[in-house]
Structure 1
């Protein structure tokens, strides 16, 4: 639902009831992820998309019906078939499970509180029960950036506490996900499936080295939604004029800046300096931090020397295994712009634990865990790490 947070925030502020349709399970090649929503108000105004167009009309009518009947939450399945592929089916061949419920902001102020947080750029999560006892279906609970659980349509008790705990964990991780909990008499006696909608603050991309490649990468990172920082110890190069797409430009020694930077599991560290006096202390620190991605630019020769220096500095084999060097995927990149795509493509693949292989060379569904070939750590019969090792050759600066 947080994909349409701006409009829902306005509707809640206006105390305008609406029907909310949410994709709570996606199988196969359905085009949009779990947690995507469509909302329809009592005047028939609609916002959002739940399937990229395939089933929008059917979902819209369900929303209108729920609003008119003021009834209980409804479920609907949409899937591909010869008869309905171009009517209410999914022509892409996937399956979509949707629940539709009426939301009255006057009775659910906690939802408005979460939407306010999202509107001002803070993190928030909304937990929604999408499977379980009928009386709990559609019940919601909000968790704010500071960890507070705010009201909700769940009665205070073990179920609400269990749901809030799981929502806090997903909010910290910055991920929308469907989770199963319950069956434990001491915590949550009912077995439930809960969809936790998360709107997290922008992840960070830390780019070290104020060079032309960094300018292109800062633009690509900003496009992908990262909060981009460019850092270099040389004030003549580290200027906002040279990096207009960066959120901030810092003049400092890279390792000294990283020591005080706020990082988390979504942070991408991109070392483009390919200069040992900057690289080694910086990478030694970065590989010891709980960041999501660490990549370093350089030629094969630079890479070999870098590994030798890192080992001499006491960096362990396990830490070195986290390093993506030479940085990026093998796209034949030459220009700074092409290299930025190479780097961001690897970050996307690495973050999603995907193989980085062409989809035309793969079999099975495009979307979902099995599409990544990682259920058993394999990708097309190859070890995941080996695939990245062989595929991760970017155009490296000399």
Structure 2
């Protein structure tokens, strides 16, 4: 083999033509022996070694380079682009290649990038912990954030900036100025980890109530205490109600032993009353205040009164739609009956937690019925208060059964 010609008819379809000049034809075993003698037994390793040798000598490079030019009206716009907050118009220069340390244009490169808009996505972020401090300097709430600092040679010091966010809270430090923002728009537009959402809301409410005083733990070192003077927020009433709702949702997920669920806050607010009521039913502290009213047929009152005279176990099964998930619950109560004519009022004297589960989205009704049947078989209650799951137009709802 003495000649190899590379044909580049189509840049996206490279082909290699091998031809033999005048010489002796070698049988395949001889060719294989000759190649192993020259290249060794591993052709891939030989090729990689030669490629590295060429690159070490400065002949080969990692492909064409393009000089990118940004268009910005101010230095702040460049800093915001580096933080991933803004897109800038960008254009690319001609392709360049390096040979033996000399960089020059590569006119044979046919694939050129178009002009467009470019934004940066920060990858190397520092872990920050922000702590709210009370008047005595004791921590009241904390959150974890991903922080980044834009400061390099050539950038005027007045534009150096440190910023950290967890998608809900953003802390910006610019020279002597410090700002903390709650990103309300992202609260509704995105899904979030329920635990992180609760911690972020608690952090914000604590920051407002403690007069905006906080500090930052970065790289195992605390910053000096910082304070935002006169900090107020019109979000507080909304977030206080939202915090109760989020904690109620956490109670429901915890009962089903589901850790770190991802939820849509907007979906929760649409079902706030149902979620909070369900969480109250699962709360041990409120078991003594629970009761159920039953309307009985007059002819069955005496028989039922005798049956319930010594106290019984009441099983409650009910579903809760949280938007992103449909959960099923079962709770057992020891109840004391109270008769008022044909009306029976069952007062809960104690509560026994059973279990809950997340229902399958493809057929939640069937999954819920299977869950209820399994619980009934395990508990064998004297009374069963059941709320069925009804799906109307593919939207699940919980409706009381009379």
Q: Please indicate the TM-score interval, normalised by the length of the shorter structure.
A: under 0.3
Q: What's the TM-score once normalised by structure 1's chain length?
A: 0.22
The structure that has the greater radius of gyration is 2
Point out the structure with the larger strand share: 2
Q: What's the TM-score once normalised by structure 2's chain length?
A: 0.22
Report 1 or 2 for greater relative contact order, CA contacts < 8 Å, sequence distance ≥ 6. Answer: 1
